[in-house]
Amino acid sequence: MFKSPKTVLLVLALLLSSSWNVQANGKKVRAGNRSDAIILPSIFPELPSAVINYVRPNLLYGLSRYAGPAGMWHPKKGFFVQSTNPSFYGLNFPTTGGNGLYFDLLITGIDVRDLTWEPVTHEGITATVTNVVANDHSIPSEDRGKVVARVTLIGPYAGRRHSFWKIDKIPKPRLPQTFELVGRHIGTGDEVVKYGFVLKQWFVDLQRTFKYSGYTAGLCNRAGYEMPRNKDLTNASIESNGNNRGKYSKYNSYTRYIDAGFFSEWGCMRYDNTAFRALPYWSMRTSNIDKRDIVSATYGSIGWPDVNSLERFICVSNLKP
């Protein structure tokens, strides 16, 4: 069939021209001859009405005490789309990101294999969409094995090129930045569906485990980043989490909530092909930055280290207001 509307219009014009020439030059034209009424099959089928219902990060620890509010989080599907209005993309997941993290767009109304997506890049961060067979262990059995559109974030990270003790500068994106992903029909190129979000913070795992000391306290700063506070990582309610107030958990663990901490959004840090690990990370206490805590990247819980604690270092591009 014809691949584009322009091709169709050209063919239609040629057919009409041929019809008129036959009538004008023919020896006999019967009254009522309607050879100019050319009947063609439907050449402008309606595009599918596609809808993104959910965006799905790791669902592990998304039930019961970890589940977010009903209008935001579905324990078996992920986050609800909060807005399709570009002016309010900042309400959507994710507001935080890190190299190699990914989430799935759960789309109905079209086979995702009929869509094509262009990568979007801002400030050295690229969001790409590829079709994958989703077999992550956190996905419910009824959805496992289905083809989905998977969004992967690629951006600055702390590479192994650094020596164990020496940390070089890591490129730091200027945030916030708005990302709009547009799914177009693979045959016509027409826009079918789109999804937008605003990244406000970028996290890097230094891939190192240290005791907290005068030297290691400055690792993030030497990389050009900040050491996160508890509220940058979790909405656990062990302390008043400032901007996360109203978004906090009732427990010493995260609840899945947009814009309420890195782990609160992304959940347990069990993602393939990323440096982040489901382990405790050093953090500053929100209410007293001179105090150091540890935050679990499995549950989002806040703990108190002892003098011999060896934990991983995570850094953030900018602190939450």
The full DSSP string for 81-109 is: P---SGGGGGGSSPSEEETT-EEEEEEES
Q: Compute the distance between CA of residue 222 and CA of residue 207 in angstroms, rounded to an integer.
A: 15
- Residue 177, φ and ψ in degrees, nearest 5: -140, 140
Architecture label for domain 51-316: Roll (3.10)
267: left (phi over 0), alpha (psi -120 to 50) or beta: left
Which helix (H) or strand (E) covers residue 296, if one does? strand 288-296
Contacts of 62 (CB under 8 A, 6+ apart): 68, 73, 75, 78, 138, 256, 267
For residue 174, which amino acid is it?
R
51 within 8 A of 107, measured Cβ to Cβ: yes
155 within 8 A of 173, measured Cβ to Cβ: yes
Q: What is the pLDDT of residue 6?
A: 40
Domain ranges of the chain: 51-316
* Rounded average pLDDT per 10-residue block, the chain, 321 residues: 41 37 39 36 57 97 96 97 98 98 98 98 98 95 96 92 71 98 97 98 91 79 94 83 62 95 98 95 82 93 87 95 89
Contacts of 244 (CB under 8 A, 6+ apart): 231, 235, 260, 261, 264, 320
For residue 287, which amino acid is it?
S
Q: What is the pLDDT of residue 161?
A: 54
Q: What is the pLDDT of residue 166?
A: 75
Contacts of 165 (CB under 8 A, 6+ apart): none
* Half-sphere exposure at residue 48, Cβ-oriented, CA atoms within 13 angstroms: 21
* Half-sphere exposure at residue 274, Cβ-oriented, CA atoms within 13 angstroms: 23
Q: What is the pLDDT of residue 1?
A: 42
DSSP state of 226: B
Q: What is the pLDDT of residue 12?
A: 35
Q: What is the pLDDT of residue 165?
A: 64
Model's pTM, two decimal places? 0.83
Q: What is the pLDDT of residue 35?
A: 33
Q: What is the pLDDT of residue 287?
A: 74
Q: What is the pLDDT of residue 241?
A: 47
Cross-strand partners of 233: none
Which residue's structure tokens are 């930045």? 177
CA 25 to chain centre: 63
Q: What is the pLDDT of residue 25?
A: 42
